[in-house]
Amino acid sequence: MAHVKLHIPGPVEVSSKTFQAMTRPMIGHRGQGFKDLYAGIQPRLQTLLQTQQLVYLSTSSAWGVMEGALTNLTSKKVLNCMCGAFSDKWFDVSKKLGKDAEALQVPWGSPIRAEQIDARLATGHFDALTLIHNETSTGTMSPLAEIAGLKTKYPEVMFIIDAVSSMTAVPIAFDALGIDVLLAGTQKAFALPPGLAVFVCSPAALARAATIKTRGYYFDVLEFEKNARENMTPSTPSISHIHALDSKLDDFFAEGLDARFDRHNRTNQMLRDWASRHGLTLFPEVGFESKTLVCINNGAKLGGRVIDAIKLQKNMKDRGVLIDAGYGKIKGTTFRISNMGDETVSSISDLIVQLDESIAGL
């Protein structure tokens, strides 16, 4: 069957170099070979995330770590900041875990703002909050630095940040931000296959976890910390994914992190320019657009030409490319195109030709 290239906002296209790295012979996860592999990865992840803390590797998708962060770090009340499908779901996860949770809900497409969080935290009821840096369902990026600035005012509140679709595409300085957990799954901006998550905890988060008796087993952050000190993971990891991560980090540093961030900026701008050339607007509030995808309004609100997102998706698929026809309650009224991972000015130029042809055929 012909391959359909992924331009959905995760999973994204995986290079053959990366797949090749996954075929390295299996090794034991308690042996020197694995420890050397992890030890080789660790400093590059620390540079990427601008942290002195150990970076952990979890064999799970992002939701495992998202659930684990709540299990490990909150015993009082959690504030779930909600502005789209993924951040809304985190509130359900809190409730399913039996946590006392409160929703800070803004309309989809709006970012979360620091003053909204400040007003809730001022009640003194909370010991944790969850925030999605880049809400993938709506293509909206919340102002992380502005929000993290609240941490000094509320040191007892654990700031748990999902950067699933922004980590590696935009700079995130973990230590300088002063946040407590930063996590991502590898199938988005890392451009690895799904099945691995990368995360880091602050010293304050580890101290908080030590006060919580029911941290669970698989996502016990103190076990991650203890094992990471020995360049190991608590349980048998997906070693093949970790080989792929090793190879991918080679790519990141060969390109240079600043060049990588700049490339995402440029390719994202190309997609935004394409939308405006066709008289289409972006779904997120102006000034808070994601750098890793575009979530485009289908035009119905403008009263002009309306794009049939499902048909556009089909036309693109006929050309061998998969885009997304909108997520959850904005399915059909929006569509999304990803520029995460290995996409370049050249590959996005090709994509734009295909988009032009597909939109002309509607």
Residue 33 or 194 having the CB closest to ligand PLP: 194
Q: How far apart are CA 191 and CA 171, in angstroms?
A: 17
Per-residue binder mask for ligand PLP (CB under 6 A), 127-166, x = binder: -----x---x-------------------------x-xx-
Instruction: Determine if 343 is a binding residue for ligand PLP (CB under 6 A).
Output: no
Site residues for ligand PLP, 163-182, by CB under 6 A, read 164-165
Query: Toward ligand PLP, which CB reaches closer, 314 or 331?
Result: 331
List, in sequence order, every residue forming a beta bridge with 336; answer none if it has no partner: 295, 324
- Alpha carbon 65 to its chain centroid, in Å, reads 12
Question: Which string of b and e fits 157-190 if b means at least 16 CB within 10 Å?
Answer: bbbbbbbbbbbbbbebebeebbbbbbbbbbbbbb
- Say how far apart CA 350 and CA 273 lie, in whole Å: 14
Query: Which CB atom, from 109 or from 185, has the smaller least distance to ligand PLP?
Result: 185
- Whichever of 41 and 131 has its CB closer to ligand PLP, that residue is 131
Q: Measured from the CB of residue 69, what is the shortest distance to ligand PLP in angstroms?
A: 12
Please identify, using beta-carbon distances, which residue of 164 and 337 lies nearer to ligand PLP: 164
Is residue 299 a contact point for ligand PLP (CB under 6 A)? no
- Which residues, 6+ apart, have CB-to-CB distance to 310 below 8 Å? 325, 332
Interaction pattern, residues 55-84, with ligand PLP; x per rule: CB under 6 A: ------xxx---------------------
CB of 64 to ligand PLP, least distance (A): 7
C-beta of 84 vs 234, nearer to ligand PLP: 84
- To the nearest 10°, report the CA torsion of 295, 132, 148, 57: -120
Using rule CB under 6 A, residue 326 touches ligand PLP: no
Is 334:296 a contact under the CB 8 Å cutoff?
Answer: yes
Q: Does 111 bind ligand PLP (CB under 6 A)?
A: no
Is 348 a binder of ligand PLP (CB under 6 A)?
no
* Count of residues that interact with ligand PLP, criterion CB under 6 A: 13
Largest CA distance in the chain: 64
324 CB-side CA count, 13 A: 26
Closer residue to ligand PLP (CB): 192 or 206: 192
Closest distance of CB 140 from ligand PLP, Å: 10
- Residue 359 Cβ vs ligand PLP, minimum distance, rounded to whole Å: 26
Which of 68, 185, 234, 326 is in the footprint of ligand PLP by CB under 6 A? 185
Q: 98-104: long-range contacts at Cβ-Cβ below 8 A with a sequence spacing of 24 or more?
A: 99/70, 99/74, 100/76, 101/77, 102/77, 102/78, 102/126, 104/79, 104/80
| H/E segment holding residue 295 | strand 293-297
- β-pairing, 55-58 vs 197-201, is antiparallel
Q: What is d(CA 321, CA 318) in angstroms, rounded to the nearest whole number?
A: 7
Radius of gyration of the chain (CA): 20
Whole-angstrom Cα distance, residue 212 to residue 156?
14
Binding mask 188-207 for ligand PLP (x = CB under 6 A): x-----x-------------
Minimum distance from residue 193 beta carbon to ligand PLP (Å): 11
Measured from the CB atom, is 162 or 180 closer to ligand PLP? 162
Residues 6+ apart with CB under 8 A from 11: 187, 188, 193, 194
Residue 9 or 234: which CB sits closer to ligand PLP?
A: 9
Q: Which residues bind ligand PLP (CB under 6 A)?
A: 10, 61-63, 86, 132, 136, 162, 164-165, 185, 188, 194
